[in-house]
Structure 1
């Protein structure tokens, strides 16, 4: 897993709008990368909708919010359209970025074990240094938790 105080792995992934997102190109003071297991599932929908609802609060603090999950661009487009999501959503189709960050691996759900993305969030500063890792995220209220953490850094 990525470690606080270390530089975040660089990556480029396609987003729901058909463009390529390069982490190194972000000009925000802070970048929030929320890794979620799958589009259109209950917990992921709650998390993405809450980040979308709070997007203007993040923007006022010069924070970029980016969701990352498996699936292809078409899945991201449908997910965003169905739920009117305003955050950038990236398609990590082969899970390489999720693996680089340490958020892909064995999971258990309803008695079954399988590989997948472990719901986690990373906050990066403008130099791409990891300043906070939220592991085993609970979807409901997580956007507010992240916003409060960033406000504590900016005193706003």
Structure 2
């Protein structure tokens, strides 16, 4: 398993399939902030709430020179349906092999209907223009999270 990325440290470049139709490469976003939010599953209540809130605030994130990117283990086909249903204007990344999930250490044991399963712990990471990790938020609540991330961005120097 990859070493956990520490606050203040450079995030290693990664490439991953994106709903944009092109491969997402972190290095392509040098000079911009990236809000990378991990969520458990497309079209579930919490994930839908979180996606809609980020989408509604997208122009405010762009004013902060920030790109919003969602990521889950769902397929691109699933992401496309999710994007179409809610008209998301940002890309969703498909991490079916959990490579990026492992890089950010977001796969955790969860309790689903009394069964222990491994799944994505809702988490958000803020990467600055120099590709350093400047914000790490784990075990977050979906509702109101986008607004919290915007406030965090506004507080960065």
Q: Give the number of equivalent residue pairs.
A: 154
Aligned to 2:145: 142
- Shift in Å, 1:10: 1.9
Aligned to 2:53: 50
1:109 aligns with 2:112: yes
Where do 5+ consecutive residues of structure 1 fail to align?
none
Asked if 2 retains the 8 angstrom alpha-carbon contact of 1:28 and 1:63, the reply is: no
Asked if 1 retains the 8 angstrom alpha-carbon contact of 2:31 and 2:130, the reply is: no
Asked if 2 retains the 8 angstrom alpha-carbon contact of 1:28 and 1:64, the reply is: no
Aligned mates of 1:123, 1:135 — CA distance in 2: 12
Q: 1:1-156 counterparts in 2 under 5 A?
A: 1-154=4-157
SS across alignment from 2:79 = helix
- Shift in Å, 1:28: 4.3
- Shift in Å, 1:136: 0.4
> Normalising by the residue count of structure 2, what TM-score does the alignment of the two structures yield?
0.93
Aligned-pair RMSD on alpha carbons?
Answer: 1.2
Where do 5+ consecutive residues of structure 2 fail to align?
none
The runs of at least 4 aligned residues of structure 1 exceeding 6 Å deviation read: none
